Amino acid sequence: MGERSTTDRDRAGKKARSAKDIVLEPDVTKPRQRADGATLVIVYLLALLIIPARLVLSFVPMTLPPALVIALLLGVVWLATQMVDTLNMGKGRNAVRTALALILASQLATYGVATRRFLPMDELTVADSSIIRIVATISLAIFITDAIRTRERLDKVMKVVLGSAAVIAFVGLVQFGAGIDLASYVSIPGLRAQENGYAVMESRSIFRRPTGTTNHPIEYGLICAMAVPLGAHYVFKAKDEGTPYIRWLICLALAGLGAMTALSRTAILGMVTAAVVMIVTLPKKRRITALLVGGGFFLGASLVVPGLFGTLRGMFSNISDDPSVKARTADYEQASEQIDLNPWLGRGFGTFLPTKYTILDNQFLLTLIENGYLGMFALILMFLTAAYAAIRVRMISTDEHLRGLASCLLGGVLAGGIAAVTFDLLGFGVATGTVFVMVGLTGATLRIAREEAGPARKRPTPQLFRKARKPDQRTDKPLSPST
């Protein structure tokens, strides 16, 4: 009995000693990302780009898409978070946020002046709905500027933008090639279909003009064009890291084909602008690769879709005889008369009804009529400030990935600015939302770059020039640096 108990004690001792020799490895499991501002922005992007634009809330008398409701809620969230310091929301000055505040102030001033004087009932109704739409979109951009705080979360949002654009392009390519509108089969409880006055299968030359999940081929092509540099950036990044890049290559191909098959001058100009910005900012070796791949892609698309290259060329070579171009320039005289009536704050955003007056395919000219010189100045300043923010990021950041994202945003913002010259940008909800997302992301990128570069730029003061601090009278001990 005693021998057995002794043996048991020996075994227990050996187990205890072996347990002491075990080295516990640290838990390297990546913590689950909690929902934050970037998560809310992603929800907005999915509602804006994936849900077909013609679906609006069925229980509201006005035309109110789900994405617009989310944008309004994010504006309220931003306002609430500015009152506390515990929700990790960006604070302090930001050039993009200031520019957005100016355009918001101009819109509110225009609405106040327009509704103070007499407006016909049809114009007043549109003015009320338009101010809700533009305030929600501007508030969204301000929220994005302050809510996305790290490079990792910015990267996640940019990937969602690219992936959503690829989905839109896929739906559009099915419309273009097979004549099947996949978006028409989408039905969501609580939403109703709203007619937008445009037939999805309208054609130009011998081709159908796709819309994807948007309302019009022009905004469809613009969104695809703004996604092209993003696709190229992530392909190069994946190759540098040695990770699979096929999915990003597919997204790039879909976005490029989507921009081409939109058969829109706006899409082609936007894609060329974004591509030029991307190529100029790339290293020399990658410029050659990008040019070769881009040229090969364009040639391959022309071979796969016979007649596509000729149609695209004809859109620009016969531009002086194009009926749509002549119609746009013919309206300038009437627009000048409208500008003279209310030169500073305009007649009211959204009140120059195309069904009542005329269609103006120039957002800057339309802004002069509806928001006056102050409103147009604020709109131009917004685009210029966003471009400055992207350029500034490339100047102060040493991280190549962040610099590459800044180049993509610069290309997207410039493409949006050019689109404002070629069509009435703010009249299309999906295009407007995407452009303002890009503007907000430039502000967020600038804030991230400054925070990352801040510690490197702040040099500690030499000990020789620091003033000696008086000892704490209560403890008679020198104060610590953290006191």
Q: Tell me the H-state helices in 58-118.
A: 66-81, 95-116
pLDDT digits (tens, 9 = 90+) for 61-86: 888 999 999 999 999 999 999 998 88
**Alpha carbons 167 and 456: distance in angstroms, whole number:** 40
Which residue type, as a one-letter code, is found at position 269?
L
What are the residues facing 193 on neighbouring strands?
A: 55
Query: Residue 209 is encoded by which pair of tokens?
Result: 């003009």
| pLDDT score of 291 more than 90 | no
Closest CA to 263 of 320, 322, 321: 322
Q: Cβ atoms within 10 A of the Cβ of 202, count?
A: 12
**pLDDT value for 395:** 95
Give kind and range of the element (H or E) at residue 144: helix 121-147
User: pLDDT by residue (tens digit) across 28-49?
Assistant: 556 677 889 999 999 999 999 9
Residue-wise pLDDT tens digits, 193-240: 987 766 666 777 678 899 999 999 999 999 999 999 999 999 999 999
Q: Helices 151-178 and 400-422: crossing angle, nearest 10°?
A: 50
Task: With CA atoms as reference, report the closest residue to 175 among 257, 298, 67.
Answer: 257
Q: What value does the mean pLDDT take over residues 118-131?
A: 93
Residue 52 pLDDT greater than 80, yes or no: yes
Q: Who has greater pLDDT, 365 or 465?
A: 365
